[in-house]
């Protein structure tokens, strides 16, 4: 992993913003990911994220914190938050922006426990594959204090597989349809391709039950996106 995502965040933080990140997936064309969006204020956040921030309690873990937008907002509102990210550049940006508690670790390396765990901006992406879900949910559950909760967002991308008649096509040999290959480039350099998981609510609900977690839909967005709350 070259950490081009972290490099882009650091460039922006250090006033060296000249171009945006280019992304594409195995099921979608090239798209631009504007770096200023990765430094969004509360007002610029989608409603689902604002809703998640309104539901937090106690000690918080912000998983895949990126540039630390959610951590900073909560910290400024009196919460104790730990930001973690597998991107070294992202965690350096969190530090430079004033996040008090941070660690450059992947989710599966975290061992402390929390009252609220946040995974936002397609939080299920971090699970990477459908097969990985039980492992990640089991680990997330182990990081919850009694009475703790997980707030996670994702999108049901089934609509991308619908034909004109409203039918649904899927290559069963390709596995779960929300598991996509994710390509990212920045300043003409290409990142090592990654797996990224979009998970429909029903599948999350079933996987949560298998992991011994309750799961409820908190909010359904306008474009197949949703916020879910899981607890033990």
Ligand X SMILES: C[S@@+](CC[C@H](N)C(=O)[O-])C[C@H]1O[C@@H](n2cnc3c(N)ncnc32)[C@H](O)[C@@H]1O
Query: Is 22:29 a contact under the CB 8 Å cutoff?
Result: no
Pick one of 12, 13, 21, 85: the residue that binds ligand X (CB under 6 A): 85
Span of 62-70, 137-145, 155-163, 173-181 interacting with ligand X by CB under 6 A: 62-70
Rounded CA-CA distance 201/207 in Å is 10
Classify the phi-psi angles of 33: left when phi > 0, otherwise alpha if psi is within -120 to 50, otherwise beta. beta
Span of 12-20, 64-72, 155-163, 202-210 interacting with ligand X by CB under 6 A: 64-72
Nearest approach, Cβ of 90 to ligand X (angstroms)?
4
Q: Which is nearer to ligand X, 26 or 170 (CB)?
A: 26
Span of 118-126, 141-149, 174-182, 206-214 interacting with ligand X by CB under 6 A: 118-126
Q: Which is nearer to ligand X, 85 or 200 (CB)?
A: 85
- Tell me the β-bridge partners of 84: 63, 103
Rounded CA-CA distance 209/159 in Å is 25
Rounded CA-CA distance 65/183 in Å is 20
Q: Which is nearer to ligand X, 4 or 146 (CB)?
A: 4
Burial of 89 (0-12, 13-18, 19+ CB in 10 A): buried
- Tell me the β-bridge partners of 118: 62, 151
Classify the phi-psi angles of 220: left when phi > 0, otherwise alpha if psi is within -120 to 50, otherwise beta. beta
Nearest approach, Cβ of 31 to ligand X (angstroms)?
13
Q: Which is nearer to ligand X, 66 or 178 (CB)?
A: 66
Nearest approach, Cβ of 173 to ligand X (angstroms)?
26
Q: Which is nearer to ligand X, 11 or 85 (CB)?
A: 85
Binding site for ligand X (CB under 6 A): 5, 38, 63-66, 69, 84-87, 90, 106-107, 120-121, 126
């Amino acid at each position: 992993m070259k950490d081009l995502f972290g490099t882009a965040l650091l460039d922006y933080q250090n006033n060296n913003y000249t171009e945006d990140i280019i992304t594409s997936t195995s099921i979608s064309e090239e798209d631009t990911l504007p770096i200023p969006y990765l430094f969004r204020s509360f007002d610029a956040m989608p409603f689902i994220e604002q809703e998640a921030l309104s539901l937090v309690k106690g000690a918080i873990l912000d998983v895949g914190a990126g540039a630390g937008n959610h951590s900073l907002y909560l910290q400024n509102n009196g919460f104790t938050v730990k930001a973690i990210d597998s991107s070294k550049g992202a965690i350096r940006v969190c530090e430079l922006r004033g996040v008090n508690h941070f660690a450059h670790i992947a989710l599966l390396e975290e061992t402390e426990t929390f009252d609220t765990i946040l995974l936002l901006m397609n939080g299920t992406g971090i699970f990477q594959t459908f097969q990985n879900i039980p492992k990640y949910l089991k680990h997330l559950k182990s990081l919850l204090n009694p009475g703790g909760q997980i707030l996670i967002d994702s999108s049901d991308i089934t609509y991308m597989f619908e034909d004109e008649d409203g039918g649904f096509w899927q290559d069963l040999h390709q596995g779960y349809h929300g598991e996509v290959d994710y390509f990212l480039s920045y300043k003409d350099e290409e990142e090592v391709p990654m797996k990224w998981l979009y998970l429909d609510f029903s599948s999350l609900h079933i996987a949560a039950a298998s992991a011994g977690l309750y799961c409820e839909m908190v909010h359904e967005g306008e474009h197949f996106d949703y916020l879910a709350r899981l607890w033990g």
